[in-house]
Structure 1
Amino acid sequence: MSDYPPPPPSQGGYGAPPPPLGQPRPGELMDRFLARLIDGVLLGIVYVILFAIFVAILVSDRTYNFESGDYEGGSRFLFGIVFGVVAGALSLGYYAFMESSRGATIGKQVMKLKVVGPDGVSNPTMEQAVKRNIFTAAPIGYIVPIVGPAIAGLAALVGEILIAVGINNDPVRRQAWHDTFAGGTQVLKIG
């Protein structure tokens, strides 16, 4: 028998010890990234279809004027406005509806993640889900002529980077600015 006390239990390097197996625990950055990637691919397919439809309706009626050497008709500006508003509303609507009604988007369901409200149990309300996902409406930046797509893309990228940094900097609850903005929502790994 040794005179020394037993070593403390391992905590995996930092943070709180993980909960027992089978118990919900904060969703890790990689699981959340993969869920967002799955959702992005699904939304991307819808965006491509919408893009083609809107181009056919709003831009394809352009004709080449040989006298002026330029295209006439069609409206890329109108296309940007319509596509930006529809894409922003679709993205925000998808994330907010799925998280408030089911607690998870399709990507989160595949990765066995669930979004819970501030109480830690129930799904977030629609208001909390909209606040939590407001950055996904970035495509609305397309309404700004010429630089709109760059603004929208940059806003979405900055939002995602800030979320990843926030998740990584909170080893206990894995919450970022969007969870705080929504009143304390949290993503849990349930499987």
Structure 2
Amino acid sequence: MSNPDPFEGQPADKQVPPPPPPGYTPPGYGPPQYGQQPPYGPPATGVGQPGTLVDRFVARLIDGLIVGVVAAIINFILGSMSNSWFLTNFVTAVVSAVLYLGYFAYFESNQGQTLGKQVMKLRVYGPDHASNPTMEQSIRRNIYMGFGILGIVPVVGALIGGLAELAAVILVAANINSDPQRQHWFDKFAGGTQVIKIG
């Protein structure tokens, strides 16, 4: 005897497949089985490990030198055009903050890598661990690079901005060293961005 057709007598646009049997989990759903990797995060071994503190420090150093040279040239030119110490400090603080924050935000959101990260074979991924971070996420994870904007405050602004950046760098280094996924506070502030070693 053949099995009855579950759609027999139903209009074509109303045909609904029968429910799956109890306990059945479609492929790709539910917790990973023994020996399977979950569909998120970096793989357990080899390429795809979270970037180490040393790799990330060297990448930041390279990026800092690149942006620092450009900022110094621009600030020298702008400073030579003004006789006002206050105006020069104001412009220098704004230009430097925009350059540093803009550099990291642009390259990470568009390419997933700054020039320093390319050299060190690192890549920034968004919270989905599959694509580049958005511009907003990249700004949020690098926001401390813009603390130099506090230099617009006369006399003490540069000192306060420098101390704020130093405190942020110490926090970042401590987080990278202690967190299993090497995510610092600003990665979490950005929704869960992550730096991965890709080579």
Displacement, 1:100?
A: 0.3
Q: How does 1:87-166 map to 2 (within 5 A)?
A: 87-166=96-175
Counterpart check, 1:47 vs 2:71: yes
Q: Distance in 2 between matches of 1:42 and 1:165?
A: 25
Q: Distance in 2 between matches of 1:159 and 1:114?
A: 21
* 1:118-156 superposed Cα distances (whole Å, 9 cap, x missing partner): 011100011100111111011211101011211111111
Displacement, 1:78?
A: 0.7
Counterpart residue number, 2:11: none
Instruction: Give 2:44's aligned amino acid.
Output: P
* DSSP-derived class of the 1:146 partner: coil
Q: Distance in 2 between matches of 1:159 and 1:153?
A: 10
1:86 to 95, 106, 111: 95
Displacement, 1:51?
A: 2.1
What is the aligned-residue RMSD (CA, Å)?
A: 1.1
Unaligned runs of 5+ in 1: 1-17, 59-73
Instruction: Give 2:121's aligned amino acid.
Output: K
Q: Distance in 1 between matches of 2:137 and 2:154?
A: 31
Q: Distance in 2 between matches of 1:51 and 1:87?
A: 8
Q: What is the aligned residue count? A: 157
Counterpart check, 1:27 vs 2:51: yes
* 1:29-77 superposed Cα distances (whole Å, 9 cap, x missing partner): 000000000001101111210121122111xxxxxxxxxxxxxxx2111
Greater RCO, 1 or 2 (C-alpha within 8 Å, sep 6+): 1
Kindly indicate which of the two structures has a greater share of residues assigned to strand: 1
Q: Distance in 2 between matches of 1:84 and 1:129?
A: 21
Native 8 Å contact 2:71 2:99 kept in 1: no
Displacement, 1:27?
A: 0.3
Q: How does 1:172-183 map to 2 (within 5 A)?
A: 172-183=180-191
Flag as ranges the 4+ runs of structure 1 deviating above 2 A: 18-21
**Structure of greater Rg:** 2
Counterpart residue number, 1:168: 177
TM-score (norm 1): 0.80
